[in-house]
């Protein structure tokens, strides 16, 4: 590989419909990022078989054969002791040992979390990684973290999440002064658990105070008034899955209504453009790719059921973090506190 070339290590075996969806996603990604090197980790025979069967136009890639398979049922001990030749283990090992590289997988979240920390370690000054992702809102999108990595947190952890979220947002939206909020049951200063109060005090004692708008309630997440939403992983994960369920419920019911009668079908045609715009705005594919932020390396988790287009967006996220050196910006922000 040439000096300075971006390299993405990909777990080709993780998630549903793999390796095909991973390979097709890489093909889509490479259409716009032709100079990126791709290294697939997984069953070499199956990978080649899928490339040939589906006539995929993938270039500038290598395949590293791995034998072990990690399932969602595997314990942490099993993952660490007896799955060292898995696509997740080997892919993360490569990403740690090579500059300008990152790792993407649709596999087991637990395995990715454990092995990412093992291989990459933490950025100095950050105690825990957070699962960080974009969520759509009325204006564009917000950044939310944590979405499931940490059930129990302290105020200091949430402050670190806010700091990392600020650095992340500065990469994806350079021209905006982001507003930071803490997810809570109310907006009053005396509302919420003690660690939420502590986090607010720490933010107000740092340079982030100029961006802090206080507490934000769950019903205001999609309003667009807050750009960076900070939460513990338990609350964040429940919020995200609840939002996904409600969204699917509304969309499926709208589909049934518009197919109910001829008049309804005609009505659909009248507002088809507006409905398509709404669908594109909340399309989960374009928000795929949650970053395990805080690691001393780049590790991106794709949804297990992501389709090829969604997986290509996870690769795009990884590429963006590598080229913009996300971790360097986090380290700089920590040093400036």
Tell me whether residue 337 is in a domain: no
Q: Give residue 3's pLDDT.
A: 61
Q: Give residue 36's pLDDT.
A: 95
Q: Give residue 244's pLDDT.
A: 78
Tell me whether residue 207 is in a domain: yes
- Whole-angstrom CA distances from 116 to 99, 103, 134, 334 are 16, 9, 21, 21
36 and 99, same domain (yes or no)? yes
What tens digit of pLDDT does each residue of 196-233 get? 999 999 999 999 999 999 999 998 988 989 999 999 99
Tell me whether residue 258 is in a domain: yes
CB 47 within 8 A of CB 63: yes
Give, in degrees to the nearest 5, the angle at Cα 236 between 230 and 239.
125
Q: How many domains would you assign to the chain?
A: 2
105 and 210, same domain (yes or no)? no
131 and 157, same domain (yes or no)? yes
271 and 134, same domain (yes or no)? yes
Tell me whether residue 334 is in a domain: no
191 and 279, same domain (yes or no)? yes
137 and 281, same domain (yes or no)? yes
Query: Whole-angstrom distance between the N-terminal and C-terminal Cα of the chain?
Result: 37
Q: What is the token pair recorded at 284?
A: 């989960």
157 and 266, same domain (yes or no)? yes
Cis peptide before 188 (omega within 30 of 0): no
Question: Chunked in runs of 10, what are the mean pLDDT values of the chain (337 residues)?
Answer: 81 94 96 94 96 94 94 83 92 94 93 92 92 88 90 94 92 87 90 91 95 94 92 91 81 85 87 78 78 93 92 94 88 80
CB 216 within 8 A of CB 181: yes
- Whole-angstrom CA distances from 21 to 57, 62, 314, 321 are 14, 17, 12, 22
Q: Residue 316's domain spans which residues?
A: 1-122+296-325
Stated pTM of the model: 0.86
Nearest CA to 130 out of 158, 111, 105, 92 is that of 158
17 and 59, same domain (yes or no)? yes
CB 130 within 8 A of CB 161: yes
Tell me whether residue 114 is in a domain: yes
What tens digit of pLDDT does each residue of 14-24 get? 999 999 999 99
269 and 314, same domain (yes or no)? no
- CA atoms of 273 and 202, how far apart (whole Å): 46
Tell me whether residue 335 is in a domain: no
Tell me whether residue 16 is in a domain: yes
- CA atoms of 144 and 221, how far apart (whole Å): 10
Tell me whether residue 150 is in a domain: yes
311 and 186, same domain (yes or no)? no
> Which residues are CB-neighbours of 164 under 8 A, at least 6 positions away?
126, 130, 132, 145, 293, 294, 330
Question: Residue 11 maps to which CATH number?
Answer: 3.40.718.10
151 and 270, same domain (yes or no)? yes
45 and 173, same domain (yes or no)? no
């Amino acid at each position: 590989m040439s000096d300075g070339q971006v390299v993405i290590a990909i777990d080709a075996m993780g998630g549903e419909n793999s390796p095909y969806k991973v390979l097709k996603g890489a093909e889509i990604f490479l259409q716009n990022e032709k100079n990126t090197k791709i290294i697939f980790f997984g069953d070499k025979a199956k990978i080649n078989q899928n490339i040939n069967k589906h006539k995929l136009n993938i270039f500038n890639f290598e395949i590293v054969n791995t034998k072990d398979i990690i399932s969602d049922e595997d314990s942490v001990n099993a993952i660490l002791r007896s799955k060292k030749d898995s696509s997740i283990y080997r892919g993360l090992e490569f990403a740690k040992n090579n500059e300008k590289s990152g790792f993407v997988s649709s596999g087991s979240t637990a395995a990715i979390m454990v092995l990412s920390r093992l291989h990459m370690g933490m950025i100095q000054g950050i105690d825990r990684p957070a699962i960080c992702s974009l969520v759509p809102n009325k204006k564009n999108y917000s950044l939310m973290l944590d979405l499931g990595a940490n059930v129990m947190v302290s105020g200091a952890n949430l402050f670190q999440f806010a700091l990392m979220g600020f650095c992340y947002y500065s990469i994806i939206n350079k021209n905006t002064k982001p507003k930071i909020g803490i997810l809570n049951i109310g907006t009053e200063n005396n509302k919420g658990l003690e660690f939420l109060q502590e986090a607010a005090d720490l933010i107000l004692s740092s340079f982030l105070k100029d961006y802090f708008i206080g507490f934000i309630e769950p019903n205001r997440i999609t309003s667009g008034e807050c750009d960076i939403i900070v939460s513990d992983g338990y609350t964040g994960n429940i919020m995200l899955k609840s939002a996904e369920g409600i969204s699917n419920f509304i969309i499926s019911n709208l589909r049934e209504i518009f197919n109910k009668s001829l008049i309804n079908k005609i009505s659909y045609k009248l507002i088809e453009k507006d409905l398509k715009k709404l669908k594109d705005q909340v399309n989960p594919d374009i928000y795929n790719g949650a970053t395990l932020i805080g690691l001393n390396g780049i590790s991106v988790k794709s949804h297990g059921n992501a389709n090829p287009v969604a997986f290509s967006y996870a690769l795009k996220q990884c590429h963006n973090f590598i080229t913009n050196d996300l971790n360097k910006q986090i380290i700089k922000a920590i040093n400036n506190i």
